[in-house]
């Protein structure tokens, strides 16, 4: 009879351990979902954020939808590779969104970087 009692106690203890193990795993799944910015930050590299910010400033309404679609595609596993600024720029162009980026032309002269404006003003 002691063997049966001992066996019952072992089973009860095992069930308790399994339940506690499941409870420990559940909070990991119950964490709030990663924000769109955090998710995109893992996939953007190079000048991607610069292109993203410029597009968001120039096309605020469409960018909400684009950002939502990008995050859904990443979460769904459709996008698995990192996204560079050039890739993102090309993607926006395919969507018909001509994103204008601020550009500067600089020259390296005698180990010093000079803008086009500085270069022209020196020649006068």
- The confidence score (pLDDT) of residue 68 equals 93
Q: Percentage of residues in the chain with pLDDT exceeding 90? A: 48
Cα torsion angle, 36, 47, 114, 120, sign: negative
**In DSSP terms, which residues pair with 83 in a beta bridge?**
44
**In DSSP terms, which residues pair with 106 in a beta bridge?**
115
Q: What is the pLDDT of residues 16-56, one digit of tens each?
A: 888 888 777 765 554 567 788 889 999 999 999 999 999 99
């Amino acid at each position: 009879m002691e063997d049966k009692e001992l066996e019952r106690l072992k089973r009860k203890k095992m069930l308790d351990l399994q339940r506690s193990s499941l409870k420990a795993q559940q909070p990991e799944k119950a964490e709030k979902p990663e924000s769109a910015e955090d998710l995109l930050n893992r996939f953007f590299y190079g000048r991607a954020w610069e292109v993203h910010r410029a597009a968001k400033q120039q096309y605020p309404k469409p960018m909400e939808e684009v950002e939502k679609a990008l995050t859904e595609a990443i979460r769904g596993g459709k996008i698995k590779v990192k996204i560079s600024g050039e890739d993102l720029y090309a993607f926006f162009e395919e969507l018909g969104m001509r994103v204008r980026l601020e550009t500067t032309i600089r020259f390296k002269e005698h180990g010093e970087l000079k803008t086009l404006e500085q270069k022209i003003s020196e020649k006068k």
